[in-house]
Amino acid sequence: MLLLRRILPGRNYCRRFSTSQSHLSDRKGLVLGVFEKDGEGHHLTEAAAGFDQSISGKLSELLKISGPSLKKGKSRLFYGLHEDFPCVAVVGLGKAESGFCGAENLDAGKENIRAAVSTGCRLMQDLEVKRVEVDGCGDAQSAAEGAALGLFSYDQLKSKKKTQVTTRLHGSADATGWAKGLVYAQGQNLARLLMEAPANHVTPTAFADIIEEKISAKVTVHKRSKAWIEEQQMGAFLSVSRGSEEPPVFLELHYRGAPDSAQPPLLLVGKGITFDSGGISLKPSQSMDAMRADMGGAATVCASVVTAAALQLPVNIIGLAPLCENMPSGKATKPGDVVIAKNGKTIQVDNTDAEGRLVLADALSYAHTFNPRAIVNVATLTGAMDVALGSAATGVFTNSDWLWEQLQKASVVTGDRVWRMPLFQHYTRQVTDSQLADLNNIGKYSRSGGACTAAAFLREFVTLPHWAHLDIAGVMSNKDEVPYLRKGMSGRPTRTLVEFAAGLTQNG
Ligand code: BES
Ligand code: ZN
Ligand code: ZN
């Protein structure tokens, strides 16, 4: 209070505090960034400096006297500084010269902006400020991503909801970057919504309906029925859906964005198990609820197609999502059963909990029928992937150095990292050793190298020279590792997939 009295002219001060309640709920907030300076003090961003100037240097004066210089990720709130912005959050962006960091394999400058802006916007949300202007911090796309990702929370099913905050760019610098960042973040938020929502709400049918609702005119949707799946002889996919009362759906999205509509498409394939109980090889009940997000591959893939269409990327993309539940019942597949995949290969299902590779086997075989330039499949495939990398990065298994480079380049920009994993024959030998069939759905030494044997299994359904399998089990959920995502299902790596697709347009 004293601080404010000293700085504000009395008249303004009084007027502000006599404001009516209804006016208060409509007050605007401002989020500004500051960089760390070598030694003491701050280096204001362009927008923060402009704001400071408009109030005769009061912001820098306050920053000086209100505590130690703001370090990366730290924030400070000021009230009553400006007539238009009763609340101002100043957030620490780290060093101004932060950029690509080889050791971390990401652009630290962008990542710092996302984290800082997210912190500032959440402070505003806690204060129930409904309209917030945000400093572009020199990279408006990253700022928009931080704002929209940071504010997201899944509270649709709660009576008490968080304040709805609308954000806009402060000033006019790089409005295009800001708009693009919002679209990228909205894509990831769509995936988060689908993953976080309970499995009794997001059934295979409901998933397909939600995506159909979000899709723009440039995308064709096919919701393939069980009869179609049978016609396609997708015996592996059907064997997983058999234990559930919910009918399976094979979702197919066609986005034609390339000027040449005959341009070979990018095929994105996502594992869509809307609930994975393990089937007859039932999972332990502890944390089984998290298996509502076992459609994270389908969610991120479909959200990426929606986003690519919203951005009007000049590329053709086909998204495929085999959607079903993995449940135990009298009709369910039993350990030791043999099923026949679409490509004619026989599979001994020794563990019904290794179901992701079964639904993907058929979807991958089908993907080849579109003469694709590349196939990328995304799946919450193995607990072993989480053991290997945790939530630091998505594991990428690929037969293509070119595809690896494209994915890795994209992930440096988005901060949603990837890490290359091996596809050795060593692992193939473990899945082609089956007593009854061509393949076994679990590796011979079951636990060892589980993420790698799963990838080797998938490769048995691929003939294309440019294929990548992304195991996202480790990045499926967020506790507090990614500072700009709240606790919950992460929607990762949607932005990396979109950035990757956008990169393909530049690569011919
Ligand atoms: N959906 C799970 C993998 C998973 C685990 C994803 C934890 C996210 C978090 C998958 O279907 C599964 O159960 N895999 C088994 C394979 C095993 C039976 C060979 C696993 O990882 O234990
Ligand atoms: Zn499973
Ligand atoms: Zn699963």
How many angstroms separate the alpha carbon of residue 325 from the centre of ligand 3?
Answer: 9
Which position among 168, 283, 420, 444 bears the catalytic label? 283
Would the pLDDT of 318 be above 90?
Answer: yes
Q: Note whether 340 and 283 are same-domain residues.
A: yes
Ligand 1 pocket check for 277: Cβ under 6 Å: no
Query: Residue 506's pLDDT band (boundaries 50, 70, 90)?
Result: low
Return the residue matching tokens 């030791």.
Answer: 336
Contact 110, 413 (CB under 8 A): yes
Q: Which atom of ligand 1 is nearest to the CA of 447?
A: 19
pLDDT tens column, 118-130: 999 999 999 999 9
d(CA 365, CA 399): 16
pLDDT tens column, 218-243: 999 999 999 999 999 999 999 999 99
Let me know the angle formed at the C-alpha of 468 by 466 and 469, rounded to the nearest 5 degrees.
Answer: 155
Mutate to test the pocket of ligand 1, among 240, 281, 347, 353 (most ligand atoms within 8 A of CB): 353
pLDDT tens column, 230-286: 999 999 999 999 999 999 999 999 999 999 989 999 999 999 999 999 999 999 999
118, amino acid identity: S
- What tokens does 432 get? 């082609």
Q: Which of the listed residues 119, 139, 174 is the one where a domain comes to its end?
A: 174
pLDDT given for residue 141 in this prediction = 98
Q: Is residue 26 part of a domain?
A: yes
Q: Is residue 64 part of a domain?
A: yes
Ligand 1 pocket check for 59: Cβ under 6 Å: no
Q: Note whether 103 and 227 are same-domain residues.
A: no
Would the pLDDT of 32 be above 50?
Answer: yes
**Consecutive H or E run containing 450:** helix 450-459
Ligand 1 pocket check for 354: Cβ under 6 Å: yes
Residues 155-180: what's their mean pLDDT?
Answer: 95
pLDDT tens column, 63-115: 999 888 899 999 999 999 999 999 999 999 999 988 999 999 999 999 999 99
Neighbours of 274 (CB within 10 A): 31
pLDDT given for residue 444 in this prediction = 82
Q: Is residue 230 part of a domain?
A: yes
pLDDT given for residue 42 in this prediction = 84
Query: Residue 454's pLDDT band (boundaries 50, 70, 90)?
Result: very high
Query: Residue 14's pLDDT band (boundaries 50, 70, 90)?
Result: very low
Q: Which of the listed residues 141, 174, 207 is the one where a domain comes to its end?
A: 174
Q: Note whether 47 and 82 are same-domain residues.
A: yes
Distances (CA, A) of 12 to 21, 64, 505: 17, 23, 53
Query: Residue 39's pLDDT band (boundaries 50, 70, 90)?
Result: confident
Contact 184, 498 (CB under 8 A): yes
Count of positions (residues) in the chain: 508
Ligand 1 pocket check for 335: Cβ under 6 Å: no
pLDDT given for residue 24 in this prediction = 53
Q: Note whether 166 and 204 are same-domain residues.
A: no
Contact 397, 376 (CB under 8 A): no
Residues 372-381: what's their mean pLDDT?
Answer: 98
Q: 138: domain CATH number? A: 3.40.220.10
Q: Which of the listed residues 174, 208, 227 is the one where a domain comes to its end?
A: 174
Q: Note whether 259 and 225 are same-domain residues.
A: yes
Q: Which ligand is nearest the CA of 441, by number?
A: 1
Q: Note whether 110 and 222 are same-domain residues.
A: no
Q: Is residue 181 part of a domain?
A: no
How many angstroms separate the alpha carbon of residue 380 from the centre of ligand 3?
Answer: 6
Query: Residue 25's pLDDT band (boundaries 50, 70, 90)?
Result: low
Contact 205, 249 (CB under 8 A): yes
Contact 122, 87 (CB under 8 A): no
Indicate if the alpha-carbon torsion angle 176, 110, 149, 490 is positive or negative: positive
Q: Note whether 266 and 410 are same-domain residues.
A: yes
Q: Note whether 169 and 201 are same-domain residues.
A: no
d(CA 393, CA 288): 23
Q: Is residue 186 part of a domain?
A: no
Would the pLDDT of 7 be above 60?
Answer: no
Q: Note whether 439 and 291 are same-domain residues.
A: yes
Contact 34, 42 (CB under 8 A): yes
Indicate if the alpha-carbon torsion angle 98, 71, 135, 104 is positive or negative: positive
Q: Is residue 233 part of a domain?
A: yes
pLDDT given for residue 41 in this prediction = 77
pLDDT tens column, 416-437: 999 999 999 999 999 999 999 9
Of the CA atoms within 13 Å of residue 1, those in its CB half-sphere come to 2
Q: Note whether 294 and 360 are same-domain residues.
A: yes
- What tokens does 20 get? 């009516």
Average pLDDT, the chain: 93
Q: 423: domain CATH number? A: 3.40.630.10
d(CA 44, CA 37): 10
In order, the DSSP letters of 95-157 are: ETT--EETTTTEEHHHHHHHHHHHHHHHHHHHTT--EEEE--TT-HHHHHHHHHHHH----TT
Query: Residue 148's pLDDT band (boundaries 50, 70, 90)?
Result: very high
Would the pLDDT of 402 be above 90?
Answer: yes
Indicate if 283 belongs to the active site. Answer: yes
Q: Note whether 89 and 207 are same-domain residues.
A: no
pLDDT given for residue 443 in this prediction = 83
Q: Note whether 224 and 309 are same-domain residues.
A: yes
Query: Residue 18's pLDDT band (boundaries 50, 70, 90)?
Result: very low
How many angstroms separate the alpha carbon of residue 451 from the centre of ligand 3?
Answer: 12
In order, the DSSP letters of 199-261 are: TTTS-HHHHHHHHHHH--TTEEEEEE-HHHHHHTT-HHHHHHHTT-SSPPEEEEEEEE-SSST
Ligand 1 pocket check for 442: Cβ under 6 Å: yes
- What tokens does 465 get? 């020279």
Q: Is residue 210 part of a domain?
A: yes
Domain range spanning residue 24? 2-174
Distances (CA, A) of 220 to 223, 253, 261, 468: 10, 6, 14, 24
pLDDT tens column, 296-315: 999 999 999 999 999 999 99
Which position among 357, 459, 492, 495 bears the catalytic label? 357
Indicate if 357 belongs to the active site. Answer: yes
Q: Which ligand is nearest the CA of 442, by number?
A: 1
Contact 271, 294 (CB under 8 A): yes
pLDDT tens column, 326-360: 999 999 999 999 999 999 999 999 999 999 999 99
Q: Is residue 91 part of a domain?
A: yes
Counting the structural domains of the chain, the total is 2
d(CA 81, CA 62): 10
